[in-house]
Amino acid sequence: MVERAKPSYLLNRRLCMPSIENLRKQAKRIVRWHRDGHHPVATLIRTHLPPFSGMSDFEILAHRFQLTDAQDLIARQNGFDSWQALLEGPTQMPEPTTNNPSSIAFVRAEPQLFVTDIARSLTFYKDLLGFKVEFTYGEPAFYAQVSRGGAHLNLRYVDQPLKEPILTLEEDLLAASICVQSIKELYLEFQTRGVLFHQNLHTEPWGSRTFIVADPDKNLILFAE
């Protein structure tokens, strides 16, 4: 029997996902945050894991929490029912429902990046990454938006870089993912502009080609084809 081709939407679901190894690192961080009693991680656990949904922060932090729990949390964040489903790939993902179609349309997402110097960040995104400034707000500016094509990033001023527990600046914890076409051309363009890469262009295990750029505040931006 000839295997039926998988719909294209299933193949595209993993284009902007970090590598499995990076997802494993994130799961280990969540276990560490739970062990250390960081309250913000309790909200993350309660939101994504049904067995914890009715617990308070203190109950969650006192409850047994294993690496397998953290891995299932990461899987649910990325649209999979379980860690095993994530490892097996998009062929295990459920078919989309066509009953009762909704009239609601999602137009775009605008990740918010926290920066310590609006002017410096605008220069970086405009001169090095080729974004245009959509607007700035405040005098001096404490909020701004930059865009390139359909990608929009909001920049929010903070007095100092954010730290753990949730918004950490550790390796490969992404602040935003941007899907593009002709990624090699974009990579070469960034090279000519003098961009320093956090991760060079390479092919992920599932076939997506990606690279990562760090902005002046170490926000990691993933570009994926």
Average predicted confidence (pLDDT) for the chain: 82
Q: Is residue 154 part of a domain?
A: yes
129 plus 84 within the same structural domain = no
Q: Which of 138, 137, 133, 139 is nearest to 121 (CA)?
A: 133
Give me the number of domains the chain comprises.
2
Q: Is residue 140 part of a domain?
A: yes
170 plus 117 within the same structural domain = yes
Least confident of 44-53, 179-188, 195-204: 44-53
pLDDT at 159: 85
pLDDT at 90: 54
Q: Is residue 2 part of a domain?
A: no
Backbone Cα Rg of the chain: 19
Least confident of 49-63, 101-115, 142-156, 179-193: 101-115
Give this prediction's pTM: 0.54
| H, E, C per residue of 89-153 | CHHHCCCCCCCCCCCCCCCCCCCEEEECCHHHHHHHHHHHCCCEEEEEECCCCCEEEEEECCEEE
pLDDT at 146: 95
216 plus 181 within the same structural domain = yes
117 plus 208 within the same structural domain = yes
pLDDT of residue 188 exceeding 90:
yes
Q: What is the DSSP letter of 124?
A: I
Q: Is residue 63 part of a domain?
A: yes
Q: Is residue 156 part of a domain?
A: yes
159 plus 212 within the same structural domain = yes
85 plus 119 within the same structural domain = no
Q: Are β-strands 112-115 and 220-224 bridged in parallel, bridged antiparallel, or unpaired?
A: unpaired
Q: Is residue 103 part of a domain?
A: no
Q: Considering 55, 90, 125, which residue would you say is the last residue of a domain?
A: 90
74 plus 125 within the same structural domain = no
Burial (CB count within 10 angstroms: exposed 0-12, middle 13-18, buried 19+), residue 82: middle
57 plus 134 within the same structural domain = no
Q: What is the CATH number of the domain that holds 204?
A: 3.10.180.10
**168 — pLDDT class (breaks 50, 70, 90):** very low
44 plus 124 within the same structural domain = no
Q: Is residue 1 part of a domain?
A: no
27 plus 86 within the same structural domain = yes
Among 20-24, 171-175, 177-181, the range with the most confident prediction by mean pLDDT is 177-181
117 plus 210 within the same structural domain = yes
Q: Is residue 7 part of a domain?
A: no
Tens-place pLDDT, residues 69-128: 999 998 888 888 889 988 887 544 445 445 555 667 777 788 999 999 999 999 999 999
Range of the domain at 150: 112-224
141 plus 216 within the same structural domain = yes
CB 69 within 8 A of CB 2: no
Where would I find the H helices in 63-139? 67-77, 83-88, 118-123
d(CA 210, CA 7): 22
pLDDT of residue 163 exceeding 60:
no
Tokens standing for 81? 């029912």
